[in-house]
Amino acid sequence: MTATESLYLPSPVIHPYATLGGPLQRLSRGLARYVVTKRVHARNDRPLVSFTFDDIPDTAFIHGARVLEDRGARGTFYIAGGLCGTIETDRRLIDASDCVELHRRSHEIGCHTFSHPVVQTLDADVFASELDRNKEFFASLMPDLALENFCYPYGIASLPRKLQVQARFQSCRGSRAGINAGVIDLGMLRAVPIDYKTDAAMIVRAVDETVRSNGWLIFFTHDVAPDPTWIGCTPQLLDGAIATALRSGCEVVTIHEGLRRIGSQGSD
């Protein structure tokens, strides 16, 4: 366990997909998570921090995007087109017109599949269809938009699906906590959650480690609301994280821009 991973102990709320399948399925998940399959040697001149949002709830658009913009920054929003406009028990998902507005305001939109399935449960053809449907959904809204970067729903993948998806996107983000530095796996970028168990001290420690390693820290959250869910955060906590990164000399960038900063033109 790395220093940053140790800051984020397992949540007392265990996701039902965390133990999906038998020994071979668990092995494949572990290989996807820990074996570097799309390596690049980072060559960034200064430490980088990115703020990313998954699914996404409408509060990430309403509050999250605004908080970033007020600091002169932009974020990456991983969206599953099939969820747009849906209402769940504790959140409402962004609608199509808000996706267009995010793009217009220079935020990055990434692919999160179309219907948000557990990627490991899909065969190659069904997974390809999920990616194609999301691409078609956004092409119908914004013909000029290219979905360049991907995020695994629930942070779960198998080795075959990881190899399949990394061939289609410049990067794929997971949910394994850590700083991306030195040799980076573009097939499973590390990321640190900002959620109900995160406090300002934990953010400072993660940013400090990023500065020491001249690395790339990718934060992720879901909703951004005064009373967030257990996988979301408040606008104040998000703003504090951005301020900490900027004050520490980090550059706040989208995933697209972060890849450019580390000198990635694909894998080595």
pLDDT single digits (tens) 109-155: 999 999 999 999 999 999 999 999 999 999 999 999 999 999 999 99
* Percent of the chain clearing pLDDT 90 (strictly above): 86
Partners of 41 in the β-ladder: 183
The domains located in the chain, with CATH, are 23-261 (3.20.20.370)
User: In this predicted structure, what is the pLDDT of residue 264?
Assistant: 87
User: In this predicted structure, what is the pLDDT of residue 19?
Assistant: 58
User: In this predicted structure, what is the pLDDT of residue 10?
Assistant: 37
User: In this predicted structure, what is the pLDDT of residue 107?
Assistant: 98
User: How confident is residue 25, by pLDDT bands cut at 50, 70 and 90?
Assistant: confident
pLDDT at 182 exceeding the cut of 90: yes
pLDDT at 75 exceeding the cut of 50: yes
Among 186, 195, 201, residue whose Cα is nearest residue 268: 186
pLDDT at 11 exceeding the cut of 80: no
Write the single-letter amino acid at 118.
V
Widest CA span in the chain: 48
- Angstrom distance (rounded) from CA 4 to CA 83: 32
Pairing state between β 39-41 and 183-185: antiparallel
* Separation in Å, CA 200 to CA 203, 233, 242: 5, 12, 11
> pLDDT tens, 221-248?
999 999 999 999 999 999 999 999 999 9
User: In this predicted structure, what is the pLDDT of residue 4?
Assistant: 46
